[in-house]
Amino acid sequence: MYSFCNHHADQYRKLILENSVRGDEHDCPFASASIQLVKLIVDIVRIGEEPLLDKDRYYPMFFTHDNPLEEFFSITILHLNKTWQEMRATQEDFSKVMDVTREQINSSLAKMPATLEEFKQQLKSYGEVQKAWAEEAKSRGEIKGKAVDELKRILLPDIEDLVRRQRLHYISEGTRFPKSKDKSGRYVFVKLNPNHKTLFYGDWNEESSLPPIEKLESKYNIYAENGKSLDLVAPSQLSFDYWTDAINALLGRPLSSKEAKEDTEKILSMEIKLRLLDIEGLDIPEEEPEIPSSPPDYDFNFQA
């Protein structure tokens, strides 16, 4: 960061000004991005690690500059900022931006650039990375054959159960709800009893600690039909979705939130890819192979 500020002062000022005057949630955090980028560079070029004797990894561009790593950082931090803008990223997208940056650096290094300027010219845009990932997924990951559809059907119940258990664990840990929509600073803490039948709740204004269940004096039976209700104001959309999912899970209903659907699809996609690793590169037929007819007799054996 110090080298970038001193040797590329105009670009540094432009980067900082661009992000400071935007006044919205899409500004790129320069310090945090720089720290993560340095860690990424260290990992990619294996700084401080033993050389891989079975790998032909040699980058001549690092010998064309007096301060190669500092210049390498300066190039990539500017491109990271450009990528952040192209993605219209927010703080929640930080890890995704770093994944894209890793791909951009690796793909440019794979072309064995002779100079740092050549490396800079070969860095892909976010759109190019998206296109490459889509083509890769189409060719090896997202197979739409009947065999994969059947595998998804088999895996789906366990994954849905995993998401349900995660939601129940979330409300078992408890959540601090504001007592009203106005910011009065009064809160009620609610958590699920381990027997999954009762919600315990009580006043709790301490943000830094969680109350033991013994401190929560009131309780609400989830399954009682006595007309009594427990009205809560969710502190966030995520909390609302998790609690809604958990209550539906307790009542034996399907999880209806957008978060539940996204989590299920994400885990299912990951599990499918893991299951398909052993057959990567093989063509999976749309139809199952025909079972051959029986031999004329079974008067044979195999010898080792």
Q: pLDDT of 150-171, one tens digit each? A: 888 999 999 999 999 999 999 9
| Domain membership flag for residue 43 | yes
Residues 152, 119 share a domain? no
| Domain membership flag for residue 286 | no
Q: Which domain holds residue 269?
A: 146-279
Q: What is the pLDDT of residue 34?
A: 92
| Domain membership flag for residue 287 | no
Q: What is the pLDDT of residue 301?
A: 72
User: Taking all residues of the chain, what is their mean pLDDT, rounded to a whole number?
Assistant: 82
Angle at Cα 79 formed by Cα 72 and Cα 64, nearest 5°?
A: 25
Residues 115, 202 share a domain? no
Q: What are the Cα distances from residue 6, in Å, to 1, 2, 29, 70?
A: 9, 6, 19, 11
* pTM (two decimals): 0.46
Kindly state the average pLDDT of the residues 194-223.
Answer: 69
Q: What is the pLDDT of residue 37?
A: 92
Residues 158, 121 share a domain? no
Q: What is the pLDDT of residue 226?
A: 60
| Domain membership flag for residue 294 | no
| Domain membership flag for residue 296 | no
Kindly state the average pLDDT of the residues 91-100.
Answer: 89
Using the predicted structure, report yes or no on whether residue 303 has a pLDDT greater than 80. no
Q: What total number of domains does the chain contain?
A: 2
- The domain boundary residue, chosen from 85, 119, 140: 140
Kindly state the average pLDDT of the residues 249-275.
Answer: 90
Residue owning tokens 């980058």: 59
| Domain membership flag for residue 253 | yes
Length of the chain: 304
| Domain membership flag for residue 304 | no
Residues 155, 136 share a domain? no
Instruction: With beta carbons less than 8 A apart as the criterion, state whether 81 and 100 touch.
Output: no
Q: What is the pLDDT of residue 222?
A: 62
Residues 190, 64 share a domain? no
- The domain boundary residue, chosen from 140, 165, 180: 140
Residue 164 CA to residue 159 CA, distance in Å, equals: 9
Between residues 225 and 67, which one has the greater pLDDT? Answer: 67
Q: What is the pLDDT of residue 283?
A: 65
Using the predicted structure, report yes or no on whether residue 188 has a pLDDT greater than 70. yes
Residues 160, 122 share a domain? no
Residues 69, 159 share a domain? no
| Domain membership flag for residue 288 | no
Reported as a pLDDT band with limits 50, 70 and 90, residue 297 is: confident
Kindly state the average pLDDT of the residues 263-285.
Answer: 78
Residues 27, 152 share a domain? no
Using the predicted structure, report yes or no on whether residue 212 has a pLDDT greater than 80. no
Residues 257, 230 share a domain? yes
Instruction: With beta carbons less than 8 A apart as the criterion, state whether 69 and 41 touch.
Output: yes
Q: What is the CATH number of the domain that holds 240?
A: 2.30.29.30
